[in-house]
Amino acid sequence: MRSIISYRDYTLSLQQPSAWKAFYEVRFGDEILGTINIHRKLNRHTVAISADGTWIFEYYGLVNPKIFAKDQNNDIIAEYIPRPLNNRGAIRIAEQELEIKLGILKNTFDLYLKNDIHAIHFEYRGLLRFQSDINIYRASSNIKQLPLVFFFCCFILLTNRRKSAK
């Protein structure tokens, strides 16, 4: 596996190889760049593995959900703050806050730096099996811990999709 960072300005894909398993792969063509495995029901515990590291994502609550990213020592290193009234949210990591905007039909998912600078774009499709095209823009080089943020976005996207499918 190679680092996600080396794929800026390329189109990657997030795919679900089997409709029957909550297992996803980040790919560039035939090359697997990372995996996301949802271990427990209701998206509560997920592990993402890539050449850049291993992270644990946990989801708590139904009315005001909280989503955290943890390192292998189980320390919280990032959190997602949802703003469902306007289809937005934010990822807070260290001293950086990144804005997330969902498309009107929730088929797009975008990550922005301050001043509305576009960093990552997800556009998903598929009925039985999930698939999303992902573009990582040059501005993403300003994101501290980009691989973690990238996989955290993937998890938030999958969580939103799974919630809306119910």
Question: How far is 1 from 33, CA to CA, in rounded Å?
Answer: 5
In terms of pLDDT, which residue wins out, 19 or 82?
82
As a whole number, mean pLDDT of residues 10-19 equals 90
In terms of pLDDT, which residue wins out, 49 or 157?
49
Confidence at residue 129, expressed as pLDDT on a 0 to 100 scale: 65
Confidence of residue 40 (pLDDT cuts 50, 70, 90): low
152 CB-contact burial (10 Å; exposed 0-12 / middle 13-18 / buried 19+): buried
What is the SS3 assignment for 51? coil
Q: In this structure, are residues 55 and 68 in contact, taking their beta carbons and an 8 Å threshold?
A: no
Of the candidates 53, 106, 98, the residue with the CA atom closest to the CA atom of residue 80: 98
Question: How far is 62 from 112, CA to CA, in rounded Å?
Answer: 26
Q: Tell me how far CA of residue 16 lies from CA of 23, 71, 77, 116, 125, in angstroms.
A: 6, 24, 26, 30, 11
Confidence at residue 47, expressed as pLDDT on a 0 to 100 scale: 93
The pairs formed by 90-99 with CB atoms below 8 angstroms and a separation of 24 or more are 91/149, 91/152, 91/153, 91/156, 93/69, 93/144, 93/145, 93/148, 93/149, 94/144, 94/145, 96/143, 96/144, 98/143, 98/149
- The CA-CA-CA angle for residues 78, 15, 163, to 5°, reads 60
Of the candidates 144, 94, 139, 141, the residue with the CA atom closest to the CA atom of residue 116: 139
Q: Residue 106 is part of which domain span?
A: 4-165
Number of domains in the chain: 1
Q: Tell me how far CA of residue 120 lies from CA of 10, 12, 63, 151, 157, in angstroms.
A: 11, 11, 27, 11, 12
Least confident of 22-26, 129-133, 135-139: 129-133
In terms of pLDDT, which residue wins out, 12 or 163?
12
